Amino acid sequence: MNTPPLPIVLILCTGNSCRSHMAEGILRQAASDLLDVRSAGSKPAGYVHPLAIRALAEIGIDISAHHSKHMDEFLQQQVETVITVCGNADQACPMFPGQLNRHHWGFDDPAHAEGGDEEQLIVFRRVRDEIKMVFQAYADGRRDAKK
């Protein structure tokens, strides 16, 4: 018997370099048995910020193989849920085929943090922890809804 594909959850940000990748890694860890988690951007930066990779590695999540993608790559896919994590992506977000849900949970952009690496890393950790709290609760809610 074929198992139906997992619903796609697409996390969008403008640059797809920090917040959306952190959210993707966190939600994938929390709910990869329930959801096919992806991320993309409306204007992809072309890289994943090294401090985002480092902040997630500190909590045991490896996003070092992630790459920056444009949201148009998903226009032909059945995206069940779109979650925007920055205001610009929320405004630029199209409707995707099969889309049932849309959420906007905005977070500060850690890429704009000032100072040296250590000062910037403090901001990345704060945003990571905020993202983890929201996306873990979302994963828990999706898990409860399946019961």
For the annotated catalytic residues, the residue numbers are: 13, 86, 93
Cβ(92)–Cβ(42) under 8 Å?
yes
- Give one DSSP letter per residue of the chain, joined into a string: -PPPPPPEEEEEESSSSSHHHHHHHHHHHHHTTT-EEEEEESS--SS--HHHHHHHHTTT---TT----BGGGGTTS-EEEEEE-SHHHHHHPPP-TT--EEEE-----GGG--SSHHHHHHHHHHHHHHHHHHHHHHHHHHHHHH-
